[in-house]
Amino acid sequence: MSVLIKNGRIVTAAEDYIADLYIEDDKIAAIGANLPQKADKEVDATGKLVFPGGIDPHVHLDMPFMGTFSSDDYETGTRAALFGGTTTVIDFILQTQGDSLRNALKTWQKKSEGKAIGDYSYHMAVTDFNDDVAKEVVEFIEEEGITSFKTFMAYKGALMIDDGQMVQLMKVLKKHGGLITVHATNGDVIDSLIAKHRAEGKLSPLYHYLSQPEVTEAEASARFTDMLHYTGCPGYIVHLTCEGALNAVRRAGLRNQKVFVETCPQYLLVDASVYEEDFEGAKWVMSPPTREKKDQKALWAGLQQNLVNVVGTDHCPFTWEQKLMGKDDFSKIPNGHPAIEHRMELLYSEGVKKGRISLSKFVEVTATNPAKIFGMYPKKGTIAIGSDADVVVFDPDKKHTISKDTHHMNVDYSSYEGWKVTGKTETVFLRGQTAIENGECHLEPGSGQFVKRGKTSYII
Ligand code: URP
Ligand code: ZN
Ligand code: ZN
């Protein structure tokens, strides 16, 4: 199977030019003006953008959490991702405390194999570190192609590890070329504020927000960067939301550390005014919560300053019925929101179209940096000869409105209902196969491949 995409504006993290792109089987085989190749399929991309398939390194599919499971599984989640121009996702395996990483891997393989439509990989969340787990960590890096390890500084009793375990894990990862990633919030302080609000009968979604003030994230981010400094381990902070946490990363830079940072569209675009007293705010109950306007400003600046390296989603959807588990108590609302489908279009519309970031920065933070940081580059994350033909043809001017009635995620509301967006994913190729065309998904469950990743790039 061969494909010729003609006359598109090809955008990478470094380049921006008009050319033809020729795909042979699963790889990009030629790029140039007026390519002579004849192909089985030709796409006229005149006036369109052509960029690498997005990589969303922060999704939770079919994940057990807060007494339920996130509502998108590997089939619905990766399909929705493809509709939005994301061809590869990295999901989180959760170790059950007291059990092995190996058992957790087997559980997630059952969830994904034969079901995923888009490509996927796993981070391994270490929730209970000990000597046996240390050996498994090394095996995962050397043999399984799972080279990034998630830690939680919150969610005590289920996912959180203490600082001693964190430092020991960092030492193992430093030695064997792994990357530590973190949910950096101070779990003890948050738990005490939740308990106080509940005792006072303050039970609406607003108190989810008020239980996680900025200091809980700023403090944990600083503590994490201090532990990285002590151990020399490379680190990545997921879903960073606020100025205080970003300043902790800035301070780490002053002592010559490079700490990778991910934010998400909701933290760039939505502020805490969504947490009203009524239950509608449950749509935005996620951890950390959305913040203030000054934090949005800091995050956009952080993108410009190369302090924020990645925009992921933290896609963790729950249906409205699931959200209602917390109708009388905010602490029982499953944390998370649906976003896997909208990341690229929201960031293009609000970022590129509104002049906040360049097109190349858009590609860098949605595809190239995730590929480099998580050991998939240049197989994924760029348009280059020999790379996987994960390619998006994007209409930069098409206007549309986000709605639960048109999205493909398995959830019966949209946090972004009614948002007007400019720019639409039109055609998507996954390893040379037509994945999305004319508003239809052409791939079946099982088309998605597990991406075995290499050791992390310390330098991006
Ligand atoms: O609220 C969130 N973010 N839910 C998913 C789990 C996590 O903390 O990333
Ligand atoms: Zn988190
Ligand atoms: Zn998450």
The SS3 of residue 262 is: strand
- For the domain made up of 54-373, the CATH class stated in words is alpha beta
- Residue 452: pLDDT band with limits 50, 70, 90: very high
Q: Rg of the Cα trace of the chain? A: 21
Query: Using CA positions, which residue lies closest to atom 4 of ligand 1?
Result: 336
Report the Cα 170 to chain-centroid distance in Å.
Answer: 22
Question: Rounded to the nearest whole angstrom, what is the distance from the C-alpha of residue 152 to the centroid of ligand 2?
Answer: 7
Q: What does the pLDDT read at residue 276? A: 79
pLDDT at 315 over 90: yes
Q: Residue 193: CB partners within 8 Å, gap ≥ 6?
A: 210, 211, 212, 213
CATH (residue range 2-51+391-441): 2.30.40.10
Taking only the tens place, the pLDDT of each residue in 372-381 is 999 999 999 9
Taking only the tens place, the pLDDT of each residue in 50-68 is 999 999 999 999 999 999 9
Q: What does the pLDDT read at residue 458? A: 66
Give bridge partners of residue 122 from the DSSP assignment.
91
Q: Judge whether 344 and 425 are in contact, CB under 8 Å.
A: yes
Measured distance CA(289)–CA(2) in Å, rounded: 46
Taking only the tens place, the pLDDT of each residue in 136-188 is 999 999 999 999 999 999 999 999 999 999 999 999 999 999 999 999 999 99
- Residue 457: pLDDT band with limits 50, 70, 90: confident
Kindly give the interhelix angle for 214-231 and 163-176, rounded to the nearest 10 degrees: 50
**What predicted TM-score, i.e. pTM, was given to this entire model?**
0.98
Mean pLDDT within 223-238 = 98
Q: In a mutational test of the pocket of ligand 1, which residue from 287, 323, 333, 415 has the highest number of ligand atoms less than 8 Å from its CB?
A: 287
Question: Rounded to the nearest whole angstrom, what is the distance from the C-alpha of residue 59 to the centroid of ligand 2?
Answer: 10
Give the N- to C-terminal CA distance of the chain in Å, as an integer. Answer: 33
Q: Judge whether 176 and 138 are in contact, CB under 8 Å.
A: yes
Residue 238 CA: nearest ligand 1 atom is 9
| Residue from 343, 335, 326, 325 nearest 212 by CA | 335
Q: Judge whether 70 and 60 are in contact, CB under 8 Å.
A: yes
Mean pLDDT within 76-100 = 98
Q: What does the pLDDT read at residue 36? A: 98
pLDDT at 348 over 70: yes
Of 23-32, 154-163, 275-284, 404-413, give the lowest mean pLDDT range.
Answer: 275-284
Question: Rounded to the nearest whole angstrom, what is the distance from the C-alpha of residue 208 to the centroid of ligand 3?
Answer: 16
Q: Tell me the CB-side half-sphere exposure of residue 393, using CA atoms within 13 A.
A: 28
Measured distance CA(251)–CA(245) in Å, rounded: 10
Query: Phi-psi bin for 393: left (phi > 0), alpha (psi -120 to 50), beta?
Result: beta
pLDDT at 277 over 80: no
Mean pLDDT within 188-210 = 98
Task: Kindly list the protein residues whose Cβ atom lies closer than 6 A to any atom of ligand 1.
Answer: 60, 183, 286-287, 314, 316, 335-336
Measured distance CA(428)–CA(53) in Å, rounded: 8
E strands, 12-84, in order: 16-24, 27-32, 41-44, 49-52, 54-59, 64-65, 68-69
Would you state the torsion angle of the CA atoms of residues 94, 97, 99, 101, taken in this order, to the nearest 10 degrees?
Answer: 30
| Residue from 344, 349, 346, 339 nearest 364 by CA | 344
User: In the predicted model, what is the mean pLDDT of the chain?
Assistant: 97
Q: Residues with Cβ within 5 Å of ion ligand 2?
A: 183
Question: Rounded to the nearest whole angstrom, what is the distance from the C-alpha of residue 187 to the centroid of ligand 1?
Answer: 13
Residue 183 CA: nearest ligand 1 atom is 8
Measured distance CA(309)–CA(311) in Å, rounded: 7
| Residue from 182, 173, 94 nearest 134 by CA | 173
With residues binned 3-state (H G I as helix, E B as strand, rest as coil), the percentages for the chain, rounded to 5, are 35, 25, 40
Measured distance CA(105)–CA(103) in Å, rounded: 5
Q: Give the strand pairing for 179-183 and 235-237.
A: parallel
Q: What does the pLDDT read at residue 456? A: 80
Q: Tell me the CB-side half-sphere exposure of residue 141, using CA atoms within 13 A.
A: 20
Domain extent listing, the chain:
2-51+391-441, 54-373
pLDDT at 196 over 80: yes
Which of the two residues, 459 and 237, has the higher pLDDT score? Answer: 237
Mean pLDDT within 215-225 = 98
